[in-house]
Amino acid sequence: MLVGTTIYALINTAILALMAIGFNLTFGISGVANFAYGAFYVFAAYGIWGMLNLLHIPYLLAVLIAVLANLILGALIYRFVLLRVRGQALSEVIATFGIGLAILELFSYFGWVGFEYTLPVFMDRSFIIAGTYVDFQRLAILGFSAVLIACLWWFTHHTSIGLAFRGIAQDERTALTFGIDSDRIAMLSVSFGAGIAALAALFIIPLGSIAPGEGYDVLIKALAVCIIGGLGSTGGVIAASFIVGFAERFTDTYIGSHWTMIVSLAAILLVLTIKPSGLFGKQKELEERI
């Protein structure tokens, strides 16, 4: 049971990291806490579902369109809404949360809720690992999380746009003196965050079903992981995903499933009491931001 729980805790870690990494990317670079992140996730999920089931578009094409649509949606929201309120934390949160609410409640209005609203798994197979059944989808999530984090690391350390991301994250005005257009880079960061939300939906949604409530759920989990890890820190997201991921699974197995939420929240409280800026956080304004 211990081995099995550990395997599922690892998978849970990967799911949490996948949910949080896009939110974290946007916040770390442009300082925008994108509260529409959960709505982006649900938007992409319904988008793919609609293209597959209503328009009968081939799977890969549908995925490609959905990711592109999210990238564009993120860029548009930055260009027409966030640009004007950037730097004013409260306005950013209200604006993005408002957009998120509008998108999610629109789907609620359509009444697209139920078990038929889900995305297909990649491969309908299970494997036995160390005596535990694990389905292919969960393994895919584990692999994809690792690959995505590695790709992001490479991107931010070895490409000029990625390095520009790190530049404006540290000092926007100085970055400007090197010809790095901060508004353009910040727009890309919101856009990339939205794109990653689409990919996260593609991998995670097949485990359950699509519902507007998922959007709030993803946002809360992303926030929890980012707050524990220290907003804007990728290392922090990984560490916090492990803490929450393992805490949730082990509580579920050894104490009882109704305790999972309490243990995760206790973990958040504990970390914030000991280190208010999060495990790896350097943002002194963290408390004011959220």
Partner 1 sequence: MLEIENLMVFFENALALNGLSLGVRTGEIVGVIGSNSAGKTTLMNTISGLIIDMRIKEKRKGGERITIYGNITYDGEDITETPPSDRVKQGIVLSRERHPVFPESSVVENFKIAGYLRSKSEIQETMDFVFTLFPPLTKLKTRKAGFLSGGEQQMLAIGMALVVRPKLLLLDEPLLGLSPMMQKAVVDAIVSLNRETNITVLLSEQFARPVLPVVDRAYVVENGMLTLSGTGAELMDNPEIKAAYFGV
Binding residues vs partner 1 (CB under 8 A): 83-84, 86-88, 157, 160, 163-164, 166-167, 170-171, 173-182, 282
DSSP-based helix, strand, coil % in the chain, nearest 5: 75, 5, 20
Instruction: Compare residues 22 and 167 and give the one whose CB is closer to partner 1.
Output: 167
Shortest distance (Å) from residue 91 CB to partner 1: 10
For residue 259, the tally of other CB atoms under 10 A from its CB is: 14
Instruction: Compare residues 275 and 282 and give the one whose CB is closer to partner 1.
Output: 282
What angle (nearest 5°) sits at the alpha carbon of residue 222, between those of residues 218 and 223? Answer: 120
Structure token digits, residue 47: 């988008």
Instruction: Compare residues 87 and 143 and give the one whose CB is closer to partner 1.
Output: 87
Shortest distance (Å) from residue 15 CB to partner 1: 29
Q: Residue 126, SS3?
A: strand
For residue 289, the tally of other CB atoms under 10 A from its CB is: 15
Shortest distance (Å) from residue 16 CB to partner 1: 25
Instruction: Compare residues 80 and 115 and give the one whose CB is closer to partner 1.
Output: 80
Instruction: Compare residues 84 and 125 and give the one whose CB is closer to partner 1.
Output: 84
What angle (nearest 5°) sits at the alpha carbon of residue 28, between those of residues 22 and 31? Answer: 110
Phi, psi torsion values for 4, nearest 5 degrees:
-60, -45
Shortest distance (Å) from residue 84 CB to partner 1: 6
Question: Residue type for 88, please?
Answer: Q
Shortest distance (Å) from residue 273 CB to partner 1: 26
Report the candidate in 127, 136, 100, 123 with the shortest Cα–Cα distance to residue 23: 100
Residue 290, Cβ density class (10 Å: 0-12 exposed, 13-18 middle, ≥19 buried): middle
Shortest distance (Å) from residue 14 CB to partner 1: 26
Instruction: Compare residues 12 and 234 and give the one whose CB is closer to partner 1.
Output: 234
